[in-house]
Amino acid sequence: MEALFSGAALLLDWQVILALLIGSMGGVVIGAVPGVGAAVAIAILLPATFALPPLVGLTLLLGIYGSSMYGGALPAVLLNTPGTAVNALTTYDGYPMTQNGQAKRAVALAYSASFVGGLLSILALIALSPALAAVAPLFGSREIFLAALLGIILVVLAHRGQTFAAGMLASFGILLQTVGLEPVNYTRRFTFGQSWLTSGFDLIVVVLGLFALSQAFLLLSQHDKKPEPLDEARALKGSVLSGFKELWLYKRVAGVASGFGVLMGMVPGVGEFTAQFMAYSYAQKTSKTPEAFGKGAPEGLIASEAANNAVPAAAMIPLLALGIPGEALTAMMLSVFYVHNVIPGPQLFQNQMDFVMALYLALLVLNLMVLVFLLVSSTLLTRIIEVPSRFVGILILLLSFVGVYSLRNSITDCAVAAVFGVLGLVLKRLNLPLVPIILGMVLGGIMEVKLRSAMPRVKTPLDMIDRPIAMILFALILLVIALHIRTVIQAHRARSKARGG
Amino acid sequence: MTRIKSLQELFKRDRRPGDIVFAWVFLLFALFLLSQLGSQAPWNPRAKIFSQPAFWPTTAVVLMVGFAGLHVLSSALSPRLVGRWAEIWAWVRSLEYAGWFMAYVFLVPFVGYLPTTVVFAVLLGLRAGYRSWAKLGLLAGLGLVIVLVFKGFLQVKIPGGALYEYLPVALRSFFLTYL
């Protein structure tokens, strides 16, 4: 309780409050513009936050992360175009509701479900803190190595239908982090005699290239997408607060969907898509009108929005407790921690619990700020979502320069980012995942360091798993792989049977 | 035939045109890295296996080759998609914007952050097909705002342009610090 009050005191700094305001409102606007999204915005802003105090920088980024999905729901519902990738499922039922003349109802439900998802996950986070603080110190080098290994395996296996692509891209990420001068033996790895490769690939340069520049190139090389004009049927007159009243009727779906969001957010490498998929499937299976799903079912919309908005807070759990990011956005935030010498992990929970609590409370406050902002800004946001895509592309290109160049004033960094920008464009056009590269880089680095520091105490292979948590993690790794193989075999048999029959 | 069909089903996945080209390029790249392992990731005779500097690069490259091989296989076993060359042309076209970005990067240290940003915002607007004064003016204005926010307010590290040295003394230090 003392940590909670100390955390609240940390939040009362005017800089933190300003960062929360800018982050939450900026995040909604960024989310509402199709083609931008939190990943692009955070990648661009990341270097600028290095000059800010750690809590200020992190709350700004958290604000964008936590609020972009609220904004992303608006074009998903009104234009059938998700503002951020994770709002894609919202279009399934949100847009049909708009077509049926229920735009305001759909937006109100999306906002209220997002709010409940965000709120429940933060409460879960606060409630879990004592347990996390007790368990986190039990994680030594080998446990963190195994957790990172589990994360990378999950990243690969979570990309159903693209497992091989995710595997090769994650391996590429692991390789990228090894390039340069190895810090223990000072061996040059994959530098090909080039001095500019000696310092390796900077995570932020790669992130900016893959996420921001690629998006700029993509938007600029396409024709402007002209959204349909927002007619009377899509007008958002009246208060969106009415959504809460209706949400109460679907409280079970909202609660379970938020639960899936919390659970999936905590597991490294899984994230919003799996949470949404599970929540949507649950809502459909337990609905009295499953046939209405995809045609404007409010439960479908609620399941999708509550689940995706519950993930950001939950994704902070492996990051803060173990220093292991579960997805690209928390991987980017990890670099803010390192720049300020705040090392996430068990020590953070033991020594700086007030800082952790301040971050939790910041998430809570930002959800409230977003809700207030949405109540007064829906008309403005409906104008923003009509910004032409090439216009957005120009702005992203100009902003990406700030992100890359301000790091070290290096033209080489910019060239590297441009190369990764082209690679990102190719991957996006082929619908192949970018996230495994980033997580490969981050988790690969963690695995290398932790395995090396764990090995002096490991005499036989069994020593690696002779502690309870290590044993559980190892069992989970085996279970995850076994379940994946089983699913592939079952799906294959079902297809063979269907073909035979 | 049944076995081939069965394999095709096993590797079936959502693909887009150009998938197999990327798959082959990635596999060849991975094989090139594999051929360079000996010279680019040397083994230390005194270190244990997990402490070897070459352990993780080797693991990563071997995994890259393995997964890329399976990815190629899954692409090769899937039905051919129309539009491969159009897709590759789209990749090549994106290089133009990478070129714009690099030109912007090269010019900032000489011309200065503010003028380069405003001019590039307008030029890119023209390239994107915008002709109205309102849109081009808005882009120039947004370019100015970007400079004011990031360099003027947030003080991100972007050096002043060499051309600023020719400004009158009273303006020079202001431009170098804030614009």
Tell me which residue in A190, A217, A391 faces B97 most closely, judged by beta carbons. Answer: A217
CB-CB neighbors (< 8 A) of B14 in chain A:
161-162, 431
The residue among B21 and A339 whose pLDDT is bigger is B21
Judge whether B118 is closer than 8 Å to chain A, CB to CB.
Answer: no
Q: Indicate yes or no: CB of B70 within 8 angstroms of CB of A164.
A: yes
Q: The whole model's pTM is what?
A: 0.86
How would you class B88 by CB atoms within 10 Å of its CB: exposed for 0-12, middle for 13-18, buried for 19 or more? middle
Judge whether A161 is closer than 8 Å to chain B, CB to CB.
Answer: yes
Measure the CA–CA gap between A400 and A41, rounded to whole angstroms.
9
* Total CB pairs under 8 A between chain A and B: 197
By CA distance, what is B90's nearest residue in A? A221
Q: How many CB atoms neighbour CB A500 within 10 A?
A: 7
Judge whether A409 is closer than 8 Å to chain B, CB to CB.
Answer: yes
Judge whether B3 is closer than 8 Å to chain A, CB to CB.
Answer: no
SS (H, E, C) B19-78: HHHHHHHHHHHHHHHHHCHHHHCCCCCCCCHHHCCCHHHHHHHHHHHHHHHHHHHHHHCC
Q: How many CB atoms neighbour CB B162 within 10 A?
A: 11
Instruction: Tell me what pLDDT residue A447 has.
Output: 92
Residue A13 has pLDDT above 90, yes or no: no
Judge whether B105 is closer than 8 Å to chain A, CB to CB.
Answer: yes
Rounded to a whole number of angstroms, the distance from the CA of A474 to the nearest CA of chain B is: 18
By CA distance, what is A417's nearest residue in B? B98
- Per the prediction, chain A carries an average pLDDT of 85
Q: Indicate yes or no: CB of B51 within 8 angstroms of CB of A455.
A: yes
Measure the CA–CA gap between B121 and A36, rounded to whole angstroms.
18
Is residue A269 very low, low, confident or very high in pLDDT (cuts 50, 70, 90)? low
By CA distance, what is B18's nearest residue in A? A430
pLDDT tens for each residue of A218-252: 999 987 766 555 555 455 555 566 788 888 889 99
Is residue B1 very low, low, confident or very high in pLDDT (cuts 50, 70, 90)? very low
Residue A379 has pLDDT above 70, yes or no: yes
pLDDT tens for each residue of A292-340: 888 888 999 999 889 988 888 888 888 888 888 877 788 888 888 887 7
pLDDT tens for each residue of B131-178: 999 999 999 999 999 999 888 887 888 888 899 888 888 888 888 888
Is residue A281 very low, low, confident or very high in pLDDT (cuts 50, 70, 90)? confident
Q: Indicate yes or no: CB of A168 within 8 angstroms of CB of B142.
A: no
Element (H, E) at B136: helix B133-147
Exposure pattern of B33-50 as b/e (b: 16+ CB <10 Å)? Answer: beeebeebbbeeeebeee
pLDDT tens for each residue of A127-184: 887 787 788 788 888 988 998 898 899 888 888 788 999 999 999 999 999 999 988 8
One-letter amino acid for residue B103 of the chain: A
One-letter amino acid for residue A443 of the chain: L
Q: Report the percentage of chain A scoring pLDDT > 70.
A: 95
Rounded to a whole number of angstroms, the distance from the CA of A240 to the nearest CA of chain B is: 31
Let me know how long chain B is. 179
CB interface of A with B, residues 202-241, below 8 Å: 213, 216-218, 220-221, 224
Judge whether B33 is closer than 8 Å to chain A, CB to CB.
Answer: yes
Judge whether B38 is closer than 8 Å to chain A, CB to CB.
Answer: no
pLDDT tens for each residue of A417-466: 999 999 999 999 998 988 899 889 988 998 999 898 888 888 888 888 88
By CA distance, what is B57's nearest residue in A? A175
Based on its alpha-carbon atoms, the radius of gyration of chain B, rounded to whole angstroms, reads: 26
Q: How many CB atoms neighbour CB A233 within 10 A?
A: 12
Report how far apart the first and last C-alpha atoms of chain A are (Å, whole number).
63
Interface test with B, best of A160, A220, A384, A457 (most B CBs within 10 A): A220
Of A116-125, A388-397, B104-113, which one has max mean pLDDT? Answer: B104-113
Judge whether A332 is closer than 8 Å to chain B, CB to CB.
Answer: no
Measure the CA–CA gap between A177 and A295, rounded to whole angstroms.
46
Helix (H, G, I), strand (E, B) or coil at A154: helix
Let me know how long chain A is. 501
Instruction: Tell me what pLDDT residue A255 has.
Output: 93
Interface test with A, best of B94, B106, B131, B146 (most A CBs within 10 A): B94
Instruction: Tell me what pLDDT residue A78 has.
Output: 83
